[in-house]
Amino acid sequence: MKLKPNHIVIPSITVLVAIVGSWITQGGMEWYKTELIQPGFTPPDWAFPIAWNIIFILTTISVLIVWNKKSPRKNLIVTLFGLNAFLNVLWSVLFFGDHLVFPAFVEMIFLELTLVALIPLIWKVSKAASLMLLPYLLWVGFATYLTHLINVLN
């Protein structure tokens, strides 16, 4: 297989999103751990990087598959992936950076909607690429619920 620019650019964007999100999150961890009441079923700290690494890997593969297929919806799909990446980082800014729990919850609904839109759009291009987004959809759904409960409890 010949190495193409998108084989470098797409994973680089994913790594950038992961690094920026992680950096912002780390800056707000003390606030998160010491000042917020969290639901009893909040996952342990070690679960988050594992989940996000799996999600980022699967999402990157999904984007690469879509990018390399011909589809009349390709521009829309790539735009939605870009919006999703932006919203992913924005949630970290709102929640961990600015400590704005309710706005982070509202923003997370939009993040979830990008996935709800992407999965059926991608299904028509590649079923495998579409299925790779299901863990992300489930994790963001769970995280949205957690964010809502944190908002209610605090």
Confidence label for 114 from pLDDT (cuts 50, 70 and 90): very high
Write out pLDDT tens, residues 133-148. 999 999 999 999 999 9
Biggest CA–CA distance in the chain, Å, is: 53
Q: Give, in order, the Cα–Cα distances in Å from 38 to each of 21, 32, 68, 80, 102.
A: 20, 9, 42, 31, 14
d(CA 16, CA 151): 28
Domain harbouring 92, CATH code? 1.20.1260.100
pLDDT at 71: 85
- As for how many domains the chain has, the answer is 1
Q: Which domain holds residue 70?
A: 5-153
- pTM of this structure: 0.92
